[in-house]
A and B are shown apart, each in its own frame.
Chain A
Amino acid sequence: MNEWIYVALFMIVGAIIPIGAIVAGFIFGPKKPNPIKQSTYECGIEPVGDVWVQFKAQYYIFALVFLVFDVEAVFLFPWAVKLGQLGLYAVVEGIVFISILIVGLVYTWRKGMLEWS
């Protein structure tokens, strides 16, 4: 039998429990909405302007660098599993693989993209 069934069951039960708790809160809690209560909470000060604040482009760069390393790590997992049984050449292959990416990190660093300005 497919072992992912268990994972699916964990997801179902893991969703049911918080839903149950939130529904219980909804049932037992009072419901008296008013415009002031519903307004955005900004420490008691009247909200000014649009919620849509523009974000730094830096966030995007960090996400991109993260994506590259994420994919790299995923490639390294099968390599790591077999490493103990393979010889030194597999280790060297992995080191070359990582070194190439470290070059990328150093390039990003030198261009000043890793600094939060």
Chain B
Amino acid sequence: MAKTISLIAANVWCWGWLIIVSMATLLVAPLWLLTAKPRGWSLARVIREGAWLYGWVYLACIRPFVRVEVVNPHLVKEHSPVIMAGNHQSWLDLMLLATQKERNFCILVGTWPFKRLFFFGPLIKLARNVTTEGVAADEILRQCHREVATGACILGYPEGTRSFDGSLGRFHSGLFKLAVELNLPVVPVIVKNSRRIISKGSLIFRPGCIKIIFEPPIGSQMFAGEPIPHRALSKYVRQRFLKALTIAPPQ
């Protein structure tokens, strides 16, 4: 009985705050966008900062039910620009990036996942995230190069989609090819337990703790002597994930 009450409370709280924070963002967004010029930032940069703040506020609001433990929150900022490679279990994973200090990052996505999001979809698009589906490799590289030149990091999920059962899927090597071509280090972003909080296809929040680990950067030129350097890099990073994910997740 107590468990059911706790589950209902968690869902009212987490969904309630999602609506409140989203509505507040909707109201504040036009004013926030106007701050671009005085700050000397691009519109994309201001939206990225705003998205980071949105995530940070939301995670703070749901803390009574969803705690987040972060390992190395300063690491990305210290080594920026880097390529962040994360495992993907839940839509919360994107928000979890607000637990680290680097706010200027663009997301590399296959198909555009925010099509159905009223207002936020177009807004996120203005943040100059990079879509890869149907885009030539040279063009993806050009777009990423442009973002990195402005000091942005790149975030990608090499599994390509969220995992249903929490297991680590096969890695696509595009993100690692980018790392090699742009000569950027790769920071593995290991998320544990977000699937247990809210899994793919589920609308039910379960109270608990998520752990997010920013692992030390891996030099992308480490495998320059291999026949396919980006594949060797991809395999190495995947091994790091497998090793980290075998440790029992927090309860």
Q: Do A and B bind each other?
A: no
Using a CB–CB distance below 8 Å, which chain A residues touch chain B? none
